[in-house]
Amino acid sequence: MVKILVVQFREDLTLQHERDCILNKVKDLDNLQFDFVSIFDDKKNILDNSKYILDKYQKIIFGGSAGLYLAKGHTGKDYKKAKFSEIKTDKLLNSILENDFPFFGACYGFQLLAKKLGADIVFDKDLAETEFADIYITVAGKKDKLFKLINSPFKAVVGHQDTAINLPKLPQLEVLCYTQKVYNHAIRYKKNIYATQFHGELTTDEFFYRLNLFPEYKKYAKGLEPQDTDKATIPLIRFLKN
């Protein structure tokens, strides 16, 4: 049995919705056990004990968040919770990086990893995306175990106001995917540490449900005609299976 810890950064209705979306995607996979923990409801303080986590689990996922912002410039937003999320996961992320521990970050999880690796997280309206985007695979991505043999481009749900830019050129860091607006859309660090800005766990209906909960994202919306996003799920499934 492969034990997987999913770290969540949500307090609203999307907390359970994110869990349901992930479990729905893996319902046909065997021998997977998921534990979910929110940084805002970590009663046993397991996120403070990275050794315990790396000993107990074989893989870690960092989920998304529509209400936390790492970049400055958002009017009327409370940045204390975003800062708390960085502090709460700092030791765990350090251990993941040091041990090349199997990790998959999605959206906000992507931004936390990118910032830890030295990228800048900015709020730039010209880079914000809310759409079914065309995701292009880089040369490095086409050779990667999670992205190889996927046709490029493929459609994926994208919904972010903050964006990771200025990703440093580290020896073991590769950009795997990009869109026409945002270059850093999927990355791999070392051999086992992955993250995507796009949402591989969301279907069309699940995306529209999220969008109705957070209408402020609609101001960046384009291309919202329903699309087949099955290909966007493949990297996550491969991460869990391998």
Tell me the per-residue pLDDT of 140-180, one tens digit each, with 9 for 90 and over.
999 999 999 999 999 999 999 999 999 999 999 999 999 99
pLDDT of residue 103: 98
pTM of the model as a whole = 0.97
pLDDT band at 66 (very low <50, low <70, confident <90, very high): confident
- Residue 182 has a pLDDT of 97
pLDDT the model gives residue 47: 97
Burial class (CB in 10 A: 0-12, 13-18, 19+), 125: exposed
Closest CA to 147 of 60, 241, 232: 232
Q: Summarize the confidence of residues 87-108 as an average pLDDT.
A: 98
What is the predicted pLDDT for the residue at 242? 85
Q: Which domains does the chain have, with CATH numbers?
A: 2-241 (3.40.50.880)
Which parts of the chain are beta strand (E)? 2-8, 32-38, 59-62, 103-106, 120-123, 129-137, 154-160, 162-165, 173-178, 186-189, 193-196
pLDDT above 90 (res 239): yes
Rounded mean pLDDT, 181-202: 97
For residue 77, the model assigns a pLDDT of 78
pLDDT of residue 227: 93
